[in-house]
């Protein structure tokens, strides 16, 4: 559930992703993946207090200005806000998928056009077969060169 939530709100761009923070602030780790780099990052993160809804005393004033009105809302209001956000995200994903499909169709059409042009340029032969024959001749020539060197 949390993974889906993180991905849906754009917190996670790729897996694995190291994200540190509370409900108000997120830090994305972009350093090295060796022990020393990860350890240094973790020590810096552990040493600072994190603002969360459960520990508001760690929050800055600007964070509290966002948090307090949210805490005053009812569960139903929060669920409604969440559902609206999810609906918007779903609509955007739907639009994205539609546009992506158009681009893939255009790409496939161009790829087919390129293949047709290549085959037309190769005459009555399939251009892939022409390339295969050429590759075989290059291999044979290389083998012949190696044999000639060995006989010296």
Q: What is the pLDDT of residues 79-110, one digit of tens each?
A: 999 999 999 999 999 999 999 999 999 999 99
Share of the chain above pLDDT 90, in %: 37
Pick from 119, 23, 28: nearest CA to 64: 23
Q: Spell out the domain ranges in the chain.
A: 1-72, 74-121, 124-152
Q: At 115, is the secondary structure helix, strand, or coil?
A: helix
Is the model's pLDDT at 115 over the cut of 80?
A: yes
Share of the chain above pLDDT 70, in %: 83
Beta strands in 3-148 (DSSP E): 19-21, 26-28
Find the angle CA(67)-CA(51)-CA(76) to the nearest 5 degrees.
35
Q: At 132, is the secondary structure helix, strand, or coil?
A: helix
Is the model's pLDDT at 75 over the cut of 90?
A: yes
Q: What is the pLDDT of residues 120-139, one digit of tens each?
A: 877 777 778 888 899 999 99
Residue 58 near residue 49, CB atoms below 8 Å: yes
- For the entire predicted model, the pTM comes to 0.43
């Amino acid at each position: 559930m949390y993974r889906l939530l993180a991905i849906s709100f754009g917190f996670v761009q790729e897996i694995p992703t190291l994200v540190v923070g509370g409900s108000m602030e997120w830090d994305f780790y972009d350093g090295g993946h060796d022990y020393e780099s990860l350890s240094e990052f973790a020590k810096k993160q552990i040493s600072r207090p994190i603002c969360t809804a459960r520990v508001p005393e760690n929050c800055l004033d600007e964070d509290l200005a966002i948090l307090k009105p949210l805490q005053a809302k009812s569960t139903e209001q929060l669920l409604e806000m969440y559902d609206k956000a999810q609906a918007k995200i779903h609509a955007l994903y739907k639009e994205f998928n539609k546009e992506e499909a158009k681009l893939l169709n255009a790409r496939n059409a161009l790829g087919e056009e390129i293949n047709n042009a290549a085959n037309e340029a190769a005459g009555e032969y399939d251009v892939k077969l022409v390339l295969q024959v050429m590759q075989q001749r290059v291999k044979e020539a290389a083998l012949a060169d190696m044999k000639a060197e060995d006989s010296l």
